[in-house]
A and B are shown apart, each in its own frame.
Chain A
Amino acid sequence: MRLSRSEQVTGRVFLILLVLVTLLPFVSMLSAALQPRGTVPTGLTWPSDPQWGNFADAFTVANMGALLKSSGLIVAGVVPVAVVIATMAGFGLGHLKIPGARFVFVFFLLGLTMPFEAVITPLYYQIQDFGLLNTRWAIILPLIGLFMPFGVFWMRTHFVNVPAELSEAARVDGSSTWQLFWRIHLPLARPAIASLTILLFLWTWNQFLLAIVLVDDGTKRTMAGALGAFQGQWGTDQVLLCAGSLLILTPTLIVFLIFQRQFIKALLQGSVKG
């Protein structure tokens, strides 16, 4: 199909407009972050003397080192376990066709559209009973469970589409189910697993509700939870708030820019299948 030149130009203009709207909040935060401390910034004005030192202040004030460590620990606790058990369940339900697979799958699906707010109150009392309030486990354990509907759905979709003949051939060779999984299915599932890993990483890192309800100490929270605490504490200091927020965003942005191709693929697939 050929588009006329003017159509192409209008399309591009709209895209660029969209890009500018998307970037505006970031630029406006940057311009505020570079104003001298103690001043009240107005709108978008490039400072005559940019105070890059504000970022160093924010780094200390926000306790970035501790925050990074905390979020890293939470991600390390959630993502590998969630990906492994979701992959196993997806294999069991999608490929092995265990008895009752359909029923179990529908049971998992029930949780797919459930907002986290629907379970947050009982979760609080449950975590309290476990004696885990104010520890990182209070975020890690529930998140693994909350990710199961999507994780299992995602991996099952992959395994259901793998031709059954592949396994039958291996069965004739006398492989056990484990060998079958490990040697044949796991390598084939790598792209699906990679996308799931990226999505769960993002959703863990950005988890806010569980962090503010179950953990009081900002340095034991996820990045999003820490950012919430930072705003609560420095909300009136616009310059520091903007510097700190940008700083807290930086790790995500770096990871995103490095893996942007994989991220976009995962997010597109994730929303299509979810």
Chain B
Amino acid sequence: MTLPATGSTSPARAHRNRWARSGRWSGWLWVVPALVMYVVFVVRPLTLTFQYSLYDWNGIGVARWAGLDNYLTVFTDSDLLKIIGNAFVLIIFFSFIPVGVGLLVASLVRRMATGLFGTAVRTILFLPQVIPLVAAGIAWSWLLSSSGVVNQVLRAVGLGGLARPWLGDFDTALPSVGMIGAWVSLGLCTILLITGIGKIDPSLYEAARMDGAGPVREFVAVTLPGLRREIGVCLTVTVIAALASFDIVYISTSGGPGYQTTVPGLEIYRLAFAQRQVGLASALAIVLMALVLLCVLPIQRLTREEKG
């Protein structure tokens, strides 16, 4: 981000100073409406979440001070730890697979095709970004069901022994949910990376080839550094989507079987509105928010351009 130079001297300066005195504070009027909505519907609830997290409260009766007990539960209860772990497993699918596949395709395609082919490809790859995640969940639940396409294909190629209800199977439920998330971000990441690779100076590639670099060296020495910013963007967006996932899980598995696919977002919803453990739900919410920041800030730091 570039900031405009400050302290410019111009003929308008005298005028500006006068305006500055009377007008600068009235400039706050421009910001107040947004600030009010933000404070009322984000900052106040967030403060309350923190406050609730320190109490034992069923949402109706009298709240009892609990100190850090709820946080202690979050970090020691085996189910809750598993649930937090699930969110991290989802990062592999929501983030690493789309970025990996995107990088592969981008380095093969190099430049986004123009013309009708390019437009069609782009439009289709963006479809998963436009439809609600709920719809993605419904479509994939059908695809992965016992009589769905995935099993149909497996049977057709003679691997019928592997066929199963993917989202209902204890071992495959979480990876299957992950694949839904991978499908959603695949297109966005691929297009972002292709756009980014098109901006890398072609002479860098020519130089690498003249030095006798093979495709792998070329990828490591030229493509990866050149795409740092785009990779950072993809990772940031998808890691947040993985850690804070809710819609896809709610629709496709409701967290089951057992706690196999339960994620923090879903557990917060359940604890707060079904089990009436508002304090614990709130502590989990604060932990989730902290985890998102803990994951996103290093990504930003590592992938930002130095001059930024």
* Cβ-closest 6 pairs across A and B: A145-B41, A43-B152, A92-B30, A115-B244, A1-B202, A224-B132
**13 intermolecular pairs with C-beta atoms under 8 Å apart:** A1-B206, A43-B151, A88-B34, A92-B29, A113-B293, A118-B46, A118-B289, A160-B1, A163-B4, A169-B12, A228-B134, A238-B142, A260-B119
What are the residues of chain B within 8 A of A164 when measuring CB–CB?
4, 8
Q: Is the CB of A252 within 8 A of B131?
A: yes
For the A-B complex with A32-B142, A96-B24, A168-B16 known, give 14 more contacts whose Cβ atoms are closer than 8 Å.
Answer: A15-B105, A18-B125, A89-B31, A92-B28, A122-B52, A148-B37, A148-B42, A165-B8, A168-B10, A171-B19, A223-B132, A224-B135, A238-B142, A248-B135
Stretch at the interface among A48-56, A60-68, A186-194, A263-271: A263-271
A34 to chain B, nearest CB (A): 13
B interface residues (Cβ-Cβ under 8 A, vs A): 1-4, 8, 10-12, 15-16, 19, 23-31, 33-35, 37-46, 48-49, 52, 59, 101, 104-105, 108-110, 113, 119-136, 138-140, 142-143, 147-149, 151-153, 183, 186-188, 190-192, 195, 202, 205-206, 230, 233-234, 236-237, 240, 243-244, 246-247, 250-251, 264-265, 268-269, 272-273, 278, 281-282, 285-286, 288-289, 292-293, 296
- Minimum Cβ distance to chain A for residue B207 (Å): 11
A-B contact count (CB 8 A): 315
Which residues on the B side are within 8 Å of A208 (C-beta)?
A: 132-134, 246-247, 250
CB neighbours (8 Å) of B37 from chain A are 85, 141, 144-145, 148
Q: How far is the CB of A67 from chain B (nearest CB, A)?
A: 12
Chain B residue contacts of A16, Cβ below 8 A: 121
- For A117, give its contact among B39, B131, B230, B285 (CB under 8 Å): B285
Taking a contact as CB atoms under 8 Å apart, the answer to whether B42 and A172 are in contact is no
| B147 CB contacts on chain A under 8 angstroms | 40-43
In chain A, positions 224-274 with a C-beta closer than 8 Å to chain B are 224, 227-228, 231, 238, 241-242, 245, 248-249, 252-253, 256-257, 260, 263-264, 267-268, 271-272, 274
Instruction: State which of A44, A108, A121 has its C-beta within 8 Å of the C-beta of B49.
Output: A121
Q: Majority SS of interface residues in chain B? A: helix
Q: In the bound complex, do residue B186 and residue A18 qualify as a contact, i.e. CB atoms below 8 Å apart?
A: yes
- Whether the pair A88, B190 counts as a contact (CB closer than 8 A) is no
Q: When chains A and B are docked, how far (Å) is the Cα of A122 from the Cα of B8?
A: 47
Is the beta-carbon distance between B278 and A91 smaller than 8 angstroms? no
A121, B278: Cβ atoms closer than 8 Å: yes
Q: How many angstroms from the CA of A248 to the CA of B131 in the assembled complex?
A: 10
Cα separation A87 to B127 with both chains bound (whole Å): 28
Report the minimum CB–CB distance from B191 to chain A (whole Å): 7
- Cα A168 to Cα B120 with chains together (Å): 45
In angstroms, Cα B293 to Cα A139, docked, is: 26
Query: In the complex, what residues of B have CB within 8 A of residue A161's CB?
Result: 2, 4
Contacts of A157 in B (CB 8 A): 1
- Give the chain A neighbours of B281 by CB distance below 8 A: 121
Q: Is the CB of A249 within 8 A of B45?
A: no
With A1-B205, A121-B281, A268-B195 as contacts: A160 and B42 at CB distance below 8 Å: no
Q: Known A29-B142, A96-B24, A160-B1; judge A172-B49 contact (CB<8 A).
A: no
- Measured between C-beta atoms, what is the minimum distance from A74 to chain B in Å? 13
A271 touches B34 (CB 8 A): no
- A182 in the interface (beta carbon within 8 A): no
- Docked Cα-Cα span, A208 to B133, in Å, equals 8
Judging by beta carbons under 8 Å apart, are A209 and B246 in contact? Answer: yes
Q: Which residue of A12, A117, A144 is within 8 Å of B288 (Cβ)?
A: A117
A24 and B246 form a contact (CB under 8 A): no
> CA–CA, A57 to B112, complex, Å?
42
- Find out whether the CB atom of B2 lies under 8 angstroms from the CB atom of A142: no
A92 and B31 form a contact (CB under 8 A): yes
Cβ–Cβ contact A86 & B34, under 8 A? yes
- Residue of chain A at shortest CB distance from B202: A1
Answer whether A271 and B188 are a contact pair too, CB < 8 Å, given A19-B124, A113-B296, A114-B46.
yes
B132 near A115 with CB under 8 A, answer no
The answer for the CA separation of A26 and B131 in the assembled complex, in Å, is 11
Q: How far is the CA of A141 from the CA of B272 in the complex (A)?
A: 21
Q: Which residues of A contact B190 (CB under 8 A)?
A: 18
Contact of B269 among A165, A169, A202, A213 (CB under 8 A): A213
Q: A241-B138, A274-B237 are in contact. Are A14 and B104 (CB under 8 A)?
A: yes
